């Protein structure tokens, strides 16, 4: 690692000296994009598009809704799109660099009344989600913010931890929404539910991982939902991360190379056919630790942490047959711990040899076709794949090993989803669709009751089943001040014929030019992970005790108040209530899947549990103007559950509050003000981790000294509050057709030690909390050309 660091700093020094001698003329760049109708997605011709800070520069869209603005100086700009009969839209914080063109997709919302009947104000691109059906409980995620915000670490999953209502950790980017377990969040890509897209997913926390495999080099702006999501979303009870890939540049080749402490990235995009606007886009990343293991002599490195990922998208527009897209994402992870000698053992976990290999992928063919009557038909055929091999053994004092865990799972899903979206009038838009998922599974899980005993089969299943969902959702623009949605979703799991019918509704009232109120309600449900359905109990003759489990269901209710303080400041207040029922629990126990954080279940469950989450989310944001932005988010909440014991407890993820403060400043540097110096800081204060009281007598009596908790008082204890500081410092040098960026990014600068449970200390014979300091540090050099 020391040799790699020296190499990186030498490379940076050389490139800095070369760049400093480059020409002094301030570079310019091109802004291109498409303007579409917010409700239907149809392209809008003859829209006026211009820069607010450079009024003399502008253009209009062509017959296909496309526009191009050339010779714009590098730096940040605000862009506005206006069209008769539509509300103006403003895109803020557009960062132009010398090496890459910017491509924007601008959505315009049609006015229901004539322009002279109401004062129309411009809509800021950050104020509303991309989905026109989402009137409350959702936020648009800007990928540019993932690279700029402190703590983002170029990872969209970590970026959302800055949003109100979301809590997370340092060692894992698992997303807990309103006190729900990270495993209850749905990950979607291109309208398809995908496996957890994080490296080392589910290792330290089910639903989380170390870093997202989906690079901000390929993702476009996306939506993140925290409550009462629209009818098109099924199989989700906590939140939905609805991610979209952007198209590559169809007119110009653009490339990126990035080297850093965490890994090496290569990205490229460009035209496959300029005449037909066909393009490609891909990004490949390999971990630095993995590379070091490849080049090191055999046995030189005791600990291996190897990961890599690939993302791509090919886009093929046609004149008459619509637009075809081929896309995909994949990751491979390997982990092998350092083997310690008995003299180094502090805990029983130190005596374990735990190895894991994970492979995950999703790929699909998508087709969009605009019908002559104005409707949009979108169909995607996709497949998702995930495979996990985990093996664990434990050593005795003579370094003789005994197998303790053997876990194998392989899931292959075939997904067909199709929707038809049409704006029937300025007042009514409808979207109706169906999703068919064929799930193939092959899994077996063996676990030893105690460290020295033989493995026993816990879960086993091989076969296939189907999850079928259909929905319809209508948007009613009653007036320019009042909008409402009404929808219905139904789903069926053919494994045990569980089914649901779920109503969804929302309403938004624009009380004035500056303030609006919203309300949303939804009934939502989610099936369990496939391995849960195939748990075997020897006491019942290896019967599949969980095969008939029903969906976990929840009622979501959310309110929202939005106040536009000024053109660059906004305040949002969102109270909410969530009631969960039919939650799988263990009979006569405090166990509930709402607290699930491990990647396996070994017990019989029944749908008799409940849960409730309520609180208020507050967001105060100043958009970037004159190089300055800041945001404060605060959430006060309570998250409780009722297990099979009939007693209400705090959930494991009930931190009670979280406060985030973000601030960043940019300065244009250099002789012609073409370079950018950026400093960003994020401070987080949130309630501490929860745990159950320790049953000391039972722990000491356990053959393996495995920690035993007093489950009658589940999660009644809480550690001291967590205080985190994250930072990002970057300097970008824009030169003719090339740009260089140097960045230092860090998480947990305060050195907070995360809690990983209580364990018996072999040296002191004391049961103590095990807390580790997890910090992520990255130094990167990025070359765009």
- List, for residues 686-711, the tens digit of each pLDDT value: 999 999 999 999 999 999 899 999 99
* DSSP letter string, 654-723: ---EEEEEEEEEEEEETTTT-EEEEEEEEEEEEPPPEEPPB-HHHHHHSTT----B-GGGTT-EEPPPEE
Contact call for residues 161 and 171 (beta carbons, < 8 A): no
Nearest to 595 by CA among 230, 180, 291, 264: 180
State residue 202's pLDDT score. Answer: 75
| Cβ partners under 8 Å of residue 737, min gap 6 | 27, 98, 99, 785
Integer CA distances (angstroms), 239 to 74, 125, 412, 637, in order? 37, 22, 23, 16
Q: Which two tokens stand for residue 123?
A: 């809509």
More confident residue, 559 or 214: 559
The half-sphere exposure of 719 on its side-chain side, counting CA atoms within 13 A, is 19
State residue 157's pLDDT score. Answer: 77
| CA 202/CA 170 separation, integer angstroms | 14
Q: Which two tokens stand for residue 749?
A: 């600068």
Identify the bridge partners of residue 269 per DSSP, sorted by sequence position.
254, 281
Percentage of the chain modeled with pLDDT above 70: 93
Contact call for residues 533 and 590 (beta carbons, < 8 A): no
Q: What is the mean pLDDT of the chain?
A: 90
State the chain's maximal CA–CA distance in angstroms. 86
State residue 7's pLDDT score. Answer: 46
| Cβ partners under 8 Å of residue 619, min gap 6 | 163, 164, 570, 571, 572, 574, 631, 632, 633
Q: Please compute the mean of the pLDDT values over residues 20-45 and round it to a whole number.
A: 83
Which range, of 26-30, 125-129, 395-399, 559-563, averages the lowest pLDDT?
Answer: 125-129
Identify the bridge partners of residue 45 per DSSP, sorted by sequence position.
none
| CA 258/CA 267 separation, integer angstroms | 9
Q: Domains of the chain (ranges plus CATH)?
A: 2-134 (2.60.40.1120), 156-784 (2.40.170.20)
| CA 384/CA 72 separation, integer angstroms | 42
Contact call for residues 203 and 209 (beta carbons, < 8 A): yes
Which range, of 5-14, 151-160, 214-223, 772-781, averages the lowest pLDDT?
Answer: 5-14
State residue 204's pLDDT score. Answer: 63
Three-state DSSP string of 244-289:
CECCCCCCCCEEEEEEECCEEEEEEEEEEECCCCEEEEEEEEEEHH
The 10s digit of each residue's pLDDT in 228-242 is 999 999 999 999 999
State residue 21's pLDDT score. Answer: 44
Q: Please compute the mean of the pLDDT values over residues 758-780 and round it to a whole number.
A: 90
Q: Output DSSP code: residue 355.
A: E
Q: pLDDT at residue 19 above 50?
A: no
Contact call for residues 334 and 308 (beta carbons, < 8 A): no
Give the global pTM: 0.91
Percentage of the chain modeled with pLDDT above 90: 70
The 10s digit of each residue's pLDDT in 77-127 is 999 999 999 989 998 888 999 999 999 999 999 987 644 444 456 777 677
Q: 139-167 burial, b if ≥16 CB within 10 A, otherwise e?
A: bbbbbebbbbbbbbbbbbbbbbbbbbbbb
| Cβ partners under 8 Å of residue 319, min gap 6 | none
State residue 26's pLDDT score. Answer: 79
3-state secondary structure at position 742: strand
State residue 3's pLDDT score. Answer: 44
Integer CA distances (angstroms), 291 to 99, 130, 211, 239, 648, in order? 28, 39, 17, 36, 49
Q: pLDDT at residue 574 above 50?
A: yes
Q: Which two tokens stand for residue 54?
A: 């450079």
Of the pLDDT bands very low, low, confident and very high (cuts 50, 70, 90), residue 28 is very high
Contact call for residues 227 and 137 (beta carbons, < 8 A): yes
| CA 699/CA 711 separation, integer angstroms | 13
| CA 689/CA 32 separation, integer angstroms | 47
Q: Please compute the mean of the pLDDT values over residues 143-152 and round it to a whole number.
A: 79
Q: pLDDT at residue 775 above 90?
A: no
| CA 223/CA 138 separation, integer angstroms | 7
| CA 703/CA 345 separation, integer angstroms | 17
Which range, of 24-33, 123-132, 157-166, 287-296, averages the lowest pLDDT?
Answer: 287-296
Which range, of 35-49, 169-183, 510-524, averages the lowest pLDDT?
Answer: 169-183
Q: pLDDT at residue 292 above 90?
A: no
The 10s digit of each residue's pLDDT in 500-540 is 999 999 999 999 989 999 999 999 999 999 989 998 876 66
Identify the bridge partners of residue 75 per DSSP, sorted by sequence position.
96
More confident residue, 8 or 387: 387
| CA 776/CA 416 separation, integer angstroms | 39
State residue 296's pLDDT score. Answer: 59
């Amino acid at each position: 690692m020391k040799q790699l660091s020296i190499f990186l700093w030498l490379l940076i020094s050389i490139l800095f000296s070369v760049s400093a001698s480059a020409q002094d003329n301030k570079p310019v760049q091109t802004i291109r994009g498409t303007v579409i109708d917010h409700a239907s997605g149809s392209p809008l011709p003859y829209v006026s598009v211009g820069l607010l800070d450079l009024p003399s520069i502008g253009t209009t869209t062509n017959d296909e809704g496309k526009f191009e603005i050339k010779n714009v100086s590098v730096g940040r700009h605000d862009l506005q799109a206006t069209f008769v009969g539509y509300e103006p839209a403003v895109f803020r914080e557009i960062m132009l660099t010398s090496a890459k063109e910017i491509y924007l997709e601008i959505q315009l919302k049609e006015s229901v009344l004539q322009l002279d009947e109401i004062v129309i104000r411009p809509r800021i691109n950050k104020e509303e989600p991309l989905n026109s059906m989402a009137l409350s409980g959702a936020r648009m995620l800007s990928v540019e913010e993932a690279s700029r915000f402190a703590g983002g670490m170029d990872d969209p999953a970590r970026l959302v931890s800055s949003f109100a209502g979301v809590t997370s950790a340092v060692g894992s980017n698992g997303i807990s929404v309103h006190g729900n377990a990270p495993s209850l969040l749905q990950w979607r890509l291109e309208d398809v539910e995908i496996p957890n897209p994080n490296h080392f997913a589910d290792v330290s926390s089910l639903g989380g991982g170390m870093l997202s495999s989906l690079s901000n080099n390929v993702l476009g702006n996306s939506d993140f939902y925290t409550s009462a999501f629209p009818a098109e979303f099924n199989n989700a009870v906590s939140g939905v991360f609805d991610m979209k890939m952007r198209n590559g540049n169809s007119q110009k080749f653009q490339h990126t190379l990035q080297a850093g402490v965490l890994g090496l990235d290569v990205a490229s995009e460009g035209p496959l056919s300029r005449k037909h606007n066909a393009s490609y886009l891909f990004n490949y990343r390999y971990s630095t630790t993995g590379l070091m293991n490849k080049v090191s002599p055999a046995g030189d490195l005791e600990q291996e942490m190897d990961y890599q990922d690939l993302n791509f998208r090919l886009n093929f527009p046609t004149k008459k047959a619509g637009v075809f897209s081929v896309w995909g994402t994949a990751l491979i992870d390997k982990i092998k711990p350092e083997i310690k000698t008995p003299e180094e053992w502090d805990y029983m976990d130190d005596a374990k040899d735990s190895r894991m290999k994970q492979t995950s992928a999703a790929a699909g063919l998508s087709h969009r076709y605009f019908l002559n009557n104005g409707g949009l038909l979108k169909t995607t055929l996709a497949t998702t794949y995930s495979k996990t091999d985990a093996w664990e053994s434990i050593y005795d004092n003579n370094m003789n090993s005994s197998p303790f865990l053997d876990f194998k799972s392989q899931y292959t899903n075939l997904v067909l989803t199709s929707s038809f979206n049409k704006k029937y009038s300025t007042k009514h838009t409808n979207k109706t669709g169906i999703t068919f998922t064929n799930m193939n599974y092959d899994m077996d899980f063996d676990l030893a009751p105690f460290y020295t005993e033989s493995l026993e089969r816990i879960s086993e299943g091989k076969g296939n089943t189907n999850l079928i969902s259909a929905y319809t959702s209508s948007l009613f623009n009653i007036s320019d001040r009042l909008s409402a949605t009404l929808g219905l979703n139904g789903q069926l799991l053919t494994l045990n014929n569980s089914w649901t019918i779920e109503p969804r509704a929302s309403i938004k009232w624009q009380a004035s030019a500056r303030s609006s109120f919203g309300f949303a309600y939804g009934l939502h449900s989610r099936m369990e992970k496939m391995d849960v359905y195939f748990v075997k109990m020897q006491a019942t003759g290896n019967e599949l005790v969980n095969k008939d489990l029903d969906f976990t269901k929840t009622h979501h209710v959310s309110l929202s108040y939005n106040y536009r303080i000024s053109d660059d400041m906004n305040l949002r207040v969102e109270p909410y209530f969530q009631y969960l029922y039919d939650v799988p629990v263990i009979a006569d126990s405090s166990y509930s899947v709402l607290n699930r954080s491990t990647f396996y279940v070994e017990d019989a469950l029944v749908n008799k549990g409940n849960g409730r989450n309520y609180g208020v989310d507050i967001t105060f944001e100043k958009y970037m103007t004159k190089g300055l932005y800041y945001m404060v988010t605060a959430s006060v909440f309570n998250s409780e559950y009722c297990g099979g014991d009939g007693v209400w407890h705090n959930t494991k993820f009930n931190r009670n509050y979280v406060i985030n403060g973000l601030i960043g400043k940019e300065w244009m540097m250099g002789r012609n003000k073409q370079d950018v110096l950026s400093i960003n800081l994020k401070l987080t204060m949130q309630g501490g981790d929860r745990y159950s009281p320790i049953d000391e007598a039972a722990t000491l009596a356990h053959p393996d000294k495995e920690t035993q908790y007093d489950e009658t008082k589940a999660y009644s204890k809480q550690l001291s509050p967590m205080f985190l500081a994250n930072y990002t410092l970057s300097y970008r040098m824009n030169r003719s057709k090339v740009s260089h960026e140097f960045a230092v990014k860090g998480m947990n600068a305060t050195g907070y030690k995360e809690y990983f449970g209580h364990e018996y200390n072999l040296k002191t014979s004391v049961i103590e909390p095990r807390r580790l300091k997890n910090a992520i540090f990255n130094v990167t050099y990025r070359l765009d050309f």
